Structure 1
Amino acid sequence: MYIIDIIYKVSTTLIDQHMEAHIAFLEKHYHSGNFIASGKKEPRTGGIILAIAENKKIIEQIMAQDPFYINQLADWNIIEFKPTKSIKAFTALLEGCA
């Protein structure tokens, strides 16, 4: 599992101009099974994506397709995360994605 921390480099006005393309990017990777949750940070300085993949390189390749990244609007940091404790529903979700 990976936590992707997206950090905006520009104003939210510019971010909003590319939001539709970013949402299409998110939808593509929800359908592929790589993304399991996403949302804006508060205060609105970026976003977070929870993702799963066989390795970090796959996540890096996916994130290189993000319109925010392509248009130099945001950077990202990928943190590998190995859940050791969670509610049963979350564990079942992860097992279903494996």
Structure 2
Amino acid sequence: MFIISLSYKKDISEVEKFIDPHIQFLDKYYSEKKFIFSGRKNPRTGGIILARNVNRDSLQEIIKQDPFYQNEIADYEITEVNPTKYDEDFKVFIEK
């Protein structure tokens, strides 16, 4: 499982220009069961994506498809995490 932290490196007005294609990108990987959740940071300096069912190399290839990456809107930090304790309701995301 991976936490992807996006940090905007351009003004919000530039971010907004690519929101719709970014949402389409997200939707593609939700439909493939690779993304669990995504959302904006508060304050709005970037976003977070939680990913599963991928390895680091394939995740890096997925990120290259994000319009935010392609248009140099955000930097990406990838953190791998192995959940060892979690709410019972979260188990569905841990077990395959």
TM-score normalised by L of structure 2:
0.96
- Structure 1 unaligned segments of length 5 or more: list them: none
* Shift >4 Å, 4+ stretches: none
What does 1:1-98 correspond to in 2, within 5 Å? 1-95=1-95, 98=96
- For the aligned residue pairs, the C-alpha RMSD in angstroms reads 0.9
TM-score normalised by L of structure 1:
0.94
- Structure 2 unaligned segments of length 5 or more: list them: none
Q: Share of identical aligned residues, percent?
A: 44
Q: CA deviation at 1:83?
A: 0.6
- The separation in 1 between residues aligned to 2:23 and 2:14, in whole angstroms, is 15
- The separation in 2 between residues aligned to 1:54 and 1:66, in whole angstroms, is 16
**Contact 1:38–1:49 (Cα < 8 Å) also in 2:** yes
Q: CA deviation at 1:94?
A: 2.3
**Aligned length in residues:** 96
**Contact 1:53–1:59 (Cα < 8 Å) also in 2:** no
